[in-house]
């Protein structure tokens, strides 16, 4: 009870909570229904154009690739193919040869991943198993042709490149271990790649802007 003669306490003013504003919808990144990508290969003097669009509610991509020469006695028209590409499955068809390349992949137990490919024209395929090295971004892969023609190839992947070791047959008696690899690095607005394959060193620089992509090759 209040003490005698003390004024009654003033009533508490109701707290006014500002009305909550509805969250504004996130700005969606707009992408055209059909995407066109053009690329120029300075080594083969070849233009490559790719037209692609999303299908099956965005689960797959339909792609058409057309290539033609840049003139000057080079290749007039390159190979044309049509492909349906998804995350774990893809099929690329060559209308000229009526052949197709099928590729598939699946996650196995732990950090193992299985991938396989088959060329219907050459009747040859490849099977590979990839394993991640714990929490490291590096991984190792063992791959073999189907039907096999020798021991499997071992490839070590790291963030900026890869190194592979495989057996190479020089003749019926001599067999050697061939070491190939590549290293990538970003330079300015492009990617520079150094490739070592069969004792041949080549350097490729891919420069890409919003509308044009160019590929320059230097072979030593």
Is the pLDDT score of 22 beyond 90? no
Q: Which two tokens stand for residue 70?
A: 């840049």
Is residue 117 scored above 80 in pLDDT? yes
Structural domain count of the chain? 3
**What would the mean pLDDT of 127-155 be, rounded to a whole number?**
90
What are 168-196's pLDDT values in tens digits? Answer: 877 767 788 889 999 999 887 788 899 99
pLDDT at 1: 47
pLDDT at 133 over 60: yes
Between 209 and 211, residue with greater pLDDT: 209
Domain that holds residue 207: 164-220
Q: Average pLDDT, stretch 97-118?
A: 90
Whether 80 and 110 map to the same domain: the answer is: no
Is 3 a member of any domain? no
Residue 128 is assigned to a structural domain of this protein: yes
User: Torsions phi, psi of 202, nearest 5?
Assistant: -135, 150
Q: Do residues 138 and 175 both lie within one domain?
A: no
Same domain, 90 and 61: yes
Q: Which single residue is written with the structure tokens 């040869």?
A: 97
Specify whether 69 is located in the same domain as 121: no
36 and 92 part of one domain:
yes
Q: What is the pLDDT of residue 85?
A: 92
Contacts (Cβ under 8 Å, ≥6 apart) of 122: 99
pTM for the predicted model, two decimal places: 0.65
Residue 190 lies in a domain: yes
Q: Is residue 23 part of a domain?
A: no
Q: Provide CB contacts within 8 A for 144, sequence distance 6+.
A: 126, 127, 128, 151, 152, 153
Residue 8 maps to a domain: no
Tokens of 92: 């690329």
Shared-domain flag, residues 85 and 108:
no
Mean pLDDT of the chain: 79
Which of 115, 138, 159 marks a domain boundary? 159
Higher pLDDT, 58 or 65: 65
Please report whether residue 196 resides in a domain. yes
Residue linked to tokens 């067999």: 175
Joined together, the tokens standing for residue 219 give 């072979």
> Where is average pLDDT lowest: 71-75, 118-122, 127-131?
71-75
20 within a domain of the structure (yes/no): no
């Amino acid at each position: 009870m209040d003490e005698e003669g003390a004024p009654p306490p003033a009533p508490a003013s109701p707290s006014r909570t500002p009305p909550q504003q509805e969250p504004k919808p996130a700005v969606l990144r707009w992408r055209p229904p059909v995407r066109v990508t053009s690329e120029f290969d300075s080594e083969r003097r070849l233009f490559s154009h790719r037209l692609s669009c999303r299908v099956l509610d965005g689960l797959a991509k339909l792609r058409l690739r057309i290539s033609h020469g840049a003139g000057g006695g080079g290749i007039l028209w390159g190979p044309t193919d049509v492909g349906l590409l998804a995350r774990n499955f893809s099929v690329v068809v060559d209308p000229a040869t009526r052949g197709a390349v099928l590729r598939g992949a699946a996650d196995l137990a732990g950090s193992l991943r299985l991938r396989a490919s088959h060329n219907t024209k050459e009747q040859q395929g490849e099977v590979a198993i990839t394993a991640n090295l714990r929490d490291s971004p590096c991984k190792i892969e063992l791959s073999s042709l189907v039907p096999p023609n020798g021991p499997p190839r071992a490839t070590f992947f790291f963030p900026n490149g890869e190194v592979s070791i495989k057996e190479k047959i020089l003749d019926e008696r001599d067999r050697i271990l061939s070491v190939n690899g590549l290293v990538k690095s970003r330079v300015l607005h492009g990617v520079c790649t150094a490739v070592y394959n069969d004792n041949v060193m080549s350097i490729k620089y891919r420069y890409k802007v919003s509308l044009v992509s160019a590929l320059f090759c230097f072979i030593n």
